[in-house]
């Protein structure tokens, strides 16, 4: 049931014509519980969409009653008109829900640089019809309504010690980290203080969404939000809660990776024995963003030389002539030189594992990425058409 799996949450997804296909395109999630705790992390891109600018103001007091999301238009670089549209979206939801507009988050996703009176009217109509359609069974429709180039809706939930966490996510392109990526809404009926919710969210996103680097392109609209309502009255063990939240975020991250635009390989890069976790992340990300490496994987070519060339551009501490590289369980490089024959590596499965042993310490990190395909190039060359 996605975001409505925890007690005290309602959601809806409606179609307003923002998408030419007539698919669901406006979602709303409402907290009906006794507490209205909110936490969020946002893109660190300096080019921020109007909903991000608005939501960063709303989240300041960590009180959130509802969140409205639309697909079919990013409402980014649309000037004062666009910010007014976001403001009016929150005001419309607040009026219908009888809450403060300053407690309504707004998210948008779609094409950058477009927005007019028709767009505004459809979003506001979607809010009105979405509020009317709210139900405890509306989570799946909400998850479908935020899809853009996604091919499937992405949801997850876990239950622990009497409380539940639910979540929905969208994202298939422009997936690169910067505190958060894509649009994600997480909900819980556990009883948390605002500072605890914020800490758990940052802990979870730091090792999940922040380490999904599908195409190296950071969006202007990325936001991950956690709503907590205390409906169960249960105060969770904070470590257990953070672990469960991380589990949900990891599942959603993997679903985003598996639905990445045009991808034919889901690549997991595991960096081990680094001097620090920061070094491990930097090394893994350098490979994840290397187009030559990604093209090689698309061609089922275990070209480990491209891995070494990529990690050699980092500031991480290691000796490039003492690094081991394995692909799908075959060590193709040992101590910076050839090891097993490339012919032993089978890269035909979609799941691809690349392991990099830096031999300088005991830190590790995992980065998720995808290959670079003809389909990815085609899809993004025709995105606005």
Contact 279, 316 (CB under 8 A): yes
Cα separation of the two ends of the chain: 34
User: Is residue 187 within a helix (H) or strand (E), and if so which, with residue range?
Assistant: strand 183-188
Active site includes 181?
A: yes
Per-residue model confidence as pLDDT tens digits over 178-189: 655 589 999 999
Q: What is the pTM of this model?
A: 0.93
The pLDDT assigned to 199 comes to 98
* Sheet with strand 363-370: strands edge to edge: 337-338, 330-334, 324-327, 351-357, 266-274, 363-370
Domain regions of the chain by residue span: 2-258, 266-381
Helical H runs in the chain? 50-58, 79-97, 117-133, 139-145, 194-206, 238-258, 277-288, 291-298, 304-311, 374-381
Residue 269 and residue 266: Cα distance in Å, rounded? 10
Helical H runs in 164-215? 194-206
Per-residue model confidence as pLDDT tens digits over 52-69: 999 999 999 999 999 999
Q: Which of 89, 181, 208, 352 is catalytic?
A: 181
List per-block mean pLDDT (blocks of 10 residues) for the chain, which spans 385 residues: 94 96 96 98 92 97 98 93 96 98 96 90 97 97 94 96 97 64 92 98 95 85 96 98 98 92 93 98 96 96 97 97 98 96 96 98 97 83 61
Residues 72/76/79/84 CA torsion (nearest 10 deg): 60
Q: List the structure tokens of 283.
A: 């090394």
Q: List the structure tokens of 227.
A: 């709503």
The pLDDT assigned to 279 comes to 98
The pLDDT assigned to 377 comes to 79
The pLDDT assigned to 175 comes to 63
- CATH of region 2-258: 3.60.70.12
Strand pairing class (104-108; 154-160): unpaired
CATH classification of 266-381, choosing from 3.10.20.340, 3.30.230.10, 3.30.1740.10, 3.40.1160.10? 3.10.20.340
Strand pairing class (324-327; 363-370): unpaired
């Amino acid at each position: 049931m996605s975001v409505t799996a925890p007690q005290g949450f309602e959601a809806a997804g409606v179609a307003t014509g923002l998408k030419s296909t007539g698919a669901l395109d406006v979602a709303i999630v409402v907290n009906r519980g006794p507490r209205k705790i909110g936490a969020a992390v946002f893109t660190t891109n300096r080019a921020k969409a109007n909903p991000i600018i608005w939501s960063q103001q709303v989240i300041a007091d960590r009180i959130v009653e509802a969140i409205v999301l639309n697909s079919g238009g990013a409402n980014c670089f649309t000037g004062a008109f666009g910010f007014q549209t976001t403001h009016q979206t929150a005001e419309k939801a607040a009026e219908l829900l009888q809450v403060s507009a300053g407690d309504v988050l707004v998210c948008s996703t779609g094409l950058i640089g477009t927005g007019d009176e028709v767009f505004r009217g459809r979003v506001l109509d979607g809010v009105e019809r979405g509020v009317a359609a709210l139900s405890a069974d509306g989570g799946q429709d909400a998850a479908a309504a935020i899809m853009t180039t996604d091919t499937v809706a992405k949801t997850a939930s876990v239950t622990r010690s009497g409380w539940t966490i639910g979540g929905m996510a969208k994202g298939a392109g422009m997936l690169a980290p910067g505190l958060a990526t894509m649009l994600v809404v997480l909900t819980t009926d556990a009883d948390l203080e605002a500072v605890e919710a914020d800490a758990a969210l940052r802990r979870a996103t730091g090792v999940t969404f922040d380490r999904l680097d599908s195409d190296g392109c950071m969006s202007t609209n990325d936001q991950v939000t956690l709503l907590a309502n205390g409906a169960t009255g249960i105060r969770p063990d904070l470590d257990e809660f953070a672990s469960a939240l991380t589990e949900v975020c990891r599942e959603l991250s993997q679903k985003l990776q598996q639905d990445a635009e045009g991808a034919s390989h889901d690549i997991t890069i595991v960096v081990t024995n680094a001097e620090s976790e920061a070094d491990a992340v930097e090394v893994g990300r350098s490979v994840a963003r290397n187009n030559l490496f990604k093209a090689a994987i698309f061609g089922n070519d275990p070209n480990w030389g491209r891995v070494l060339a990529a990690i050699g551009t980092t500031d991480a501490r290691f000796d490039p002539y003492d690094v081991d590289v394995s692909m799908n369980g075959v060590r193709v490089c040992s101590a910076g030189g050839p090891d097993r024959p490339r012919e032993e590596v089978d890269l035909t499965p979609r799941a691809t594992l690349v392991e990099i042993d830096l031999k300088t310490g005991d830190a590790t990190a995992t980065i998720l990425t995808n290959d670079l395909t003809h389909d990815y190039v085609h899809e993004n060359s025709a995105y606005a058409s």
